[in-house]
Amino acid sequence: MGKGVIILLFLAVTAGCDNIKNLDRASQQPERAKTLNVSSSNLEKVPASIGEMTGLQELNLFRNKIDSLPDFIGNLTELENLSLQSNRLVWVTPKLSALKKCRKLNLRFNRLESLPNEICEMENLVELDLRNNRLKSLPCCLGKLQKLEYLYLSDNMLETLPEEIGQLTHLKVLYLSSNNVSEPMPESYGELSNLTELDVSRMGSVVQLPASLQNCRKLELLIIDNGTVLPYSTGRGNPRLKVIYR
């Protein structure tokens, strides 16, 4: 093992120990905790003491071994930022619906095969990151997340795309690459009038984009496969559009 690797491992272990200390301190006065970082701490479960920190606004639990998000997470009604990136999640509680103030939800690099419909009740979500999971489908109610601006769905196992995504009129960034979609992209996606970035590369058999995409006048970056057929009028009258082929 090289010296550089040993140093990195030492730093990771040290950071994990410090973060456990953060948890211990916050647990002593749970009502005063506003921000909690318990990342890289080798946790297999979300500590029950976190459910008592009802004033938390930011909770970072990334890079652990957590396999489920428990019901008591719904107690954290003041939460604005929740990160569980790089865990082993296979299940998240429907109690997510109680997190009405949450603006950012990061579930990237987990093992999720499905999502509860209740995620659609997180009405203030601005950013939802679901990359690198095992999702085969999405809740059709996603269209209810009217404040959503960033939606990351790359590197999953999606076979269909909900038409309701076309209702997310504030959406700016949509990443769909590396899935297994076997149906054409819905025409409704042309209603994404604020979209600036769209990645539809490596999406399986989908090689033709809807003609309605020409309505996305603010689109600046479009990432597609070499064999993707662009609608004839896409980009005409939009000098800002940059098309990247993969």
Cα separation, 92 vs 102, whole angstroms: 15
Angle formed at CA 240 by CA 235 and CA 245, multiple of 5 degrees: 65
> What are the tens digits of pLDDT across the range 114-132?
999 999 999 999 999 999 9
Q: What is the pTM of this model?
A: 0.90
Q: Check if the beta carbon of residue 138 is closer than 8 Å to that of residue 115.
A: yes
> What are the tens digits of pLDDT across the range 33-90?
999 999 999 999 999 999 999 999 999 999 999 999 999 999 999 999 999 999 999 9
Three-class DSSP category at 130: coil
Cα separation, 197 vs 132, whole angstroms: 19
User: Quick one: DSSP state of residue 230?
Assistant: P
> What are the tens digits of pLDDT across the range 129-179?
999 999 999 999 999 999 999 999 999 999 989 999 999 999 999 999 999
pLDDT band at 8 (very low <50, low <70, confident <90, very high): very low
Cα separation, 98 vs 73, whole angstroms: 9
